[in-house]
Amino acid sequence: MTLFLNIAVDGIAYGMILFMISVGLSVTMGLMRVVNLAHGGFALLGGTFAHWFGQELGLPFWPAALLAIVATIAVSLPLERLIYRRIYGFGDLQQVLATIGLTFLMIASVNLWQGSSLLSIPLPDSLKQSVDLGFRTLPVHRLVVIAAGLVSILGLWLLLDRTLFGIRLRAAVDNRGTASALGIDTDWIFMAAFGLGAGLAALGGILGAEILPIDAYYPVRYMVLFLIVVAVGGMGSISGSFVAALGLGTLETATRYLVPDYATIVFFTFVIILLALRPQGLLGKAHA
C-alpha cells in the first residue's frame, strides 16, 4: 500500500515537472505547428537568467524568477521577428535544422557567459522544507510545481478557448491568409503566442531545475524528454500534453520502483507501442 502511494505521489510530482518543462513546447510546436527544437534553449535562457539574478545579483527567488521570464521573453520577441517569421513557412526538416542551429547558438552563448558547470538557482527556505504526508515526506518545491502545473493548464485553457486572442490564434494557425483577410493582425498574434511559449519554457526551466538542473547543455540533454511529452500528448493539444506528462511520469516512476534495471526499456517500449497505435498522439487530431 505504501509502495502504491509512493508511486502515485512521486509519479504525479514528476509528471507535473515533465508538464511544466514541455508546456512551452506544446504552445510553439503543438499549437503554432513550428517544430521548435530551440524550446530547450529558451528554458536554458530562463534558468541562466534566474541563476544570474538570484546567485550573482543576490535577488530573492521569486523576483529573480519573474525577471528571468521577462528577460527570456524579451530575447524571444526579436528572434521571432527576425528569424522565426521566416521559419514558419519552411518544411518540417528545414524547421528542425534551423531551430537546432538556434539551440547550438544559445548553448554556445551560455557557455561563453557562464561556463559549462552547473548553474544553481538558490531556493528560498520556505521551498526547501519538506511536508509530512503521514507515510512519508514531500519537498515543498514539488508541491509548488504541482500547483504551477494546474494553474498553467487552467490558464491556457481559458486563454485559448475562452478569449478572443485564443480564437484568433487558432484561426491564424489554421489558415493564415484567410485570418489575415478577415482583419486579424496575424503578425502580432504569432509574436504574442511565441512570446508566451518562450515565457512558459523559461518558467518550466526554472521550476524544473531542482530535478533537471540547468547547465549549458540542458537543451540537448533533455530534448528527447520534451519531444516525447508533446508527441505522446498529440500535436495541437495542450490537455494532451498534460495527460501525457502525468501518464509518462507515473509510468516511469512505477517502473523505477518495481523494476529499476529495466525502467528505461519499459518506458520507451510503451512509448513506441503507443505511437505505433496512435501516431497522432493521445488527444491529437488526425491530420489529413
| Cα–Cα distance for residue pair 263/259, rounded to 1 Å | 6
Shortest distance (Å) from residue 274 CB to other proteins: 18
168 vs 256 by CB, closer to other proteins: 256
Min separation Cβ 40 and other proteins, Å: 13
Cell 510546436 identifies what position? 29
Residue 190: which residues within 8 A CB-CB, separation 6 or more?
32, 80, 85, 88, 172
Give the shortest CB-111-to-other proteins separation in angstroms: 8
Whole-number minimum distance, CB 83 to other proteins, in Å? 24
204 vs 236 by CB, closer to other proteins: 204
CB closer to other proteins out of 80 and 210: 210
Q: Please give the single-letter amino acid code of residue 160.
A: L
Closer by beta carbon to other proteins, 116 or else 175: 116
Residues at the interface with other proteins (CB under 8 A)? 2, 6-7, 10, 13-14, 17, 115-120, 122, 128, 130, 136-137, 139, 210-213, 215, 217, 220-222, 225, 252-253, 256-257, 260-261, 263-264
- Provide the residue type at 112 as one letter: L
Grid coordinates 518506458 are at which residue? 267
> Smallest distance, Å, CB 48 to other proteins?
13
Q: How far is the CB of 121 from other proteins (least distance, A)?
A: 10
Measured distance CA(184)–CA(186) in Å, rounded: 6
| Signed CA dihedral, 161, 62, 150, 120: sign only | positive
Q: How far is the CB of 43 from other proteins (least distance, A)?
A: 14
| E strand or H helix that includes residue 113 | helix 92-114
The gap from C-alpha 234 to its chain's centroid, in whole angstroms, comes to 14
Nearer to other proteins, 190 or 222 (CB): 222
Distance between CA atoms of 93 and 90, rounded to whole angstroms? 8
The cell numbers describing 251, all together, are 509510468
- Smallest gap from Cβ 2 to other proteins, in A, equals 8
Residues 6+ apart with CB under 8 A from 112: none
Judged by CB, which is closer to other proteins: 5, or 74? 5
CB-wise, 117 or 287, nearer to other proteins? 117
Nearer to other proteins, 121 or 172 (CB): 121
Beta pairing, strands 130-132 & 137-139: antiparallel
Q: Do residues 66 and 233 make contact, with C-beta atoms less than 8 angstroms apart?
A: no
The candidate with the shortest Cα–Cα distance to 47, out of 99, 100, 118, 95, is 118
